[in-house]
Chains A and B, each alone.
Chain A
Amino acid sequence: MIRVRGLSKEFATFDNGSSGVLALSNIDFEVRDNEFITVIGPSGCGKTTLLRIIAGLIPYDQGEVTIDGRPVTGPGPERAVVFQNFALMPWADVLTNVTFGLDIRGTPKDECQAKARELIKQVGLEGFAKRLPKELSGGMQQRVGLARALAVDPQILLMDEPFGALDEQTRRLLQEQLLRLWEQERKTVVFITHSMDEAVMLGDRVTLMTPRPGRVKEIIDVPLKRPRLRDVEKSSVFLEVKEYLWENLRAMQIE
């Protein structure tokens, strides 16, 4: 379980360092095991910063961030990140990219490759193991990123607007694929998004954040049954939650 209490983070500005930008202020946030939480908010609300702090990639100033009671001081084997711009090594083929996390940990080569091939198959990229990232479409590249994250068998998947750089059609397909994969193991997921459709479609709960400084405004339940199929988008529950989100988000933009 991820637990965030009273988290604050300030970024120093470049000019004189005395004034800073308060990216996050007093964040209280909890993610239960096996829960799929989506985080949405306007630009500048600090959602990516929050994710990075949970991932252990940036330090925080005040408050408490713990995973199963242990404080976060850096990255760890129980967490894996999926990045918006894929972050694939352009000089390495798909197989090498997918094995990266395992390789760093010193897993023996044949084990890495076996696991990687299995995941490559699961994300639907069988046959592409020897291709270079530049030979793949955006959607396929992100599937490599996903396979890489899943390869290290993390408890927690941290996803930073993973489908934000993709066109709508690809995005929708990948959402469905992600849900299918998730249903198999139900890892804990923190998923950052700009899209209300995505937030409601994927999440058990939606965390709504406000900007300047970043705060958690509200955490909204999404009482839709799982497994979620595409037609869920037509249900009244879906539309109500989405409408509620939009009212709040729109109000934030006007301020």
Chain B
Amino acid sequence: MKNSAVRDWGLRLLVFAVFVGLWEIFVGYSQNFLLPRFTETATGLFHLLFHDHRFWEALYVSNQALLLGYAVSLLVGIPLGLAAGRLRWMDRVLNPYVGVLLAMPVAPLIPIVIIALGLGLAARVFIVVLFAFVFITVNTRAGVRSVEPSLIEMAKSFGASEGQIWRRIVIPGAMPAIFAGMRIGLGRSITGMVMVELLLVASGLGRLLLEFSGRMQSDLVFATVLAVIIEAIALLTAMQAIERRIAGWAPDVSIG
């Protein structure tokens, strides 16, 4: 076990090294003076993390939208998914809307939301929710549907009430899929947050990006992006670890 883990990490580092190597070579040969090297990006990141309090302020502002938006997505998405999974009529009613929201690109809706809600936190949270909640709903519903009908029948045969069936059979049975939905929803929330930052620009990391690119500080631009990516990876990895604990018993049939 240990050996294969070491080998896997070794290979991952190798991929990373190759990527950095190609990056350096590309910068070396290109005439583009704006394109920073990896080392410049890394130094820039170091600078941002330890010498620039504005970075942390911006990170805080952006994450407000992320965490609030994600929380609202869960509060809206999971109950909708549970209802759609268990109640046929609810599922039929929601189906077309869910289908549309899954397939369409949400980014073009951002300007509309801005017009409607302004440039404040509410708008940013709303956009994050738009990006994320459908995926949470869809995976939750799939989870509820995936619970074997014979398990529900078994529970009934022992005299379980509807509430007991929910608590003992449906929810535990749907947990792996719900968690997959939560993981995908987190990823989508991050995407939503980044989209808002890029198009809304008035606050947080988006504003920093605009400032740095305006001043041609491309190393800091790249560094900011790198910071966002690192945060995303950290959050998603943590989520996956929790998921593995909760859902070790089930195969992965997630949507998204």
| Minimal beta-carbon separation of B250 from chain A (angstroms) | 7
Which of A90, A92, A132, A152 touches B158 (beta carbons < 8 Å)? A152
| Minimal beta-carbon separation of A160 from chain B (angstroms) | 10
Contact indicator B156/A75 (Cβ below 8 Å): yes
Interface residues of A in 81-121 (CB under 8 A from B): 81, 83, 85, 87, 89-92, 100-101, 103-105
Cα separation A76 to B159 with both chains bound (whole Å): 6
| Minimal beta-carbon separation of B249 from chain A (angstroms) | 5
Which of B151, B155, B173 touches A104 (beta carbons < 8 Å)? B155
Q: Decide if A212 is an interface residue (CB 8 Å cutoff).
A: no
Interface size class of B (residues with CB under 8 A): 10 to 19
**Closest A residue by C-beta to B148:** A87
Instruction: Please judge, given known A-B contacts A55-B157, A75-B157, A104-B158, whether A91 and B150 are in contact too, CB under 8 Å.
Output: no
Contact indicator A83/B150 (Cβ below 8 Å): yes
**Closest B residue by C-beta to A151:** B158
Contact indicator B150/A90 (Cβ below 8 Å): no
**Pairs A–B under 8 Å by Cβ, sample size 26:** A56-B157, A57-B156, A57-B157, A75-B156, A75-B157, A75-B158, A75-B159, A77-B159, A83-B150, A83-B154, A87-B150, A89-B151, A89-B168, A89-B172, A90-B249, A91-B173, A91-B249, A92-B172, A100-B155, A100-B168, A104-B155, A104-B158, A104-B168, A132-B249, A134-B249, A152-B158
The 10 closest A-B pairs by CB, nearest first: A87-B154, A101-B158, A81-B157, A87-B150, A91-B249, A104-B160, A104-B158, A75-B159, A75-B157, A91-B172
B residues at A contact (CB < 8 Å): 148, 150-151, 153-160, 164, 168-169, 172-173, 175, 249-250
